[in-house]
C-alpha cells in the first residue's frame, strides 16, 4: 500500500511566504517510510506534483 501525506512546514529563519518555508512529503510504501522536504520553488518537480495534488482537491496537513 502506498500512503502519501503532505504537511506544511513553518520555520521563521527560512520563511519564504507568510512564515511557510516548505512542505514535508511522507510516503509509506509497505512499511518503508520516506520523508522529503520540498521547497516552495515552481521550478521544482516535487513542488509541481504537490500543486497538482492540491488541484485535485487534496489538502495538506497544517503546519505546527
pLDDT in tens, 3-57: 899 999 886 666 555 667 889 999 998 888 989 999 889 999 999 999 999 999 9
The CA angle 32-40-33, to the nearest 5 degrees, is 5
Sign, CA torsion 63/50/13/19: negative
What span, in angstroms and rounded, lies between the C-alpha atoms of 27 and 4? 5
Q: Is the pTM of this model over 0.85?
A: no
Count H helices and E strands in the chain, helices first: 1, 3
In the block, cell 506534483 appears at 49
Contact 4, 50 (CB under 8 A): no
Amino acid at each position: 500500500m502506498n500512503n502519501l501525506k503532505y504537511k506544511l512546514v513553518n520555520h521563521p529563519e527560512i520563511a519564504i511566504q507568510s512564515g511557510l518555508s516548505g512542505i514535508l512529503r511522507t510516503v509509506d510504501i509497505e512499511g518503508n517510510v520516506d520523508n522529503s522536504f520540498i521547497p516552495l520553488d515552481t521550478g521544482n518537480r516535487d513542488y509541481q506534483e504537490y500543486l497538482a495534488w492540491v488541484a485535485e482537491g487534496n489538502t495538506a496537513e497544517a503546519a505546527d
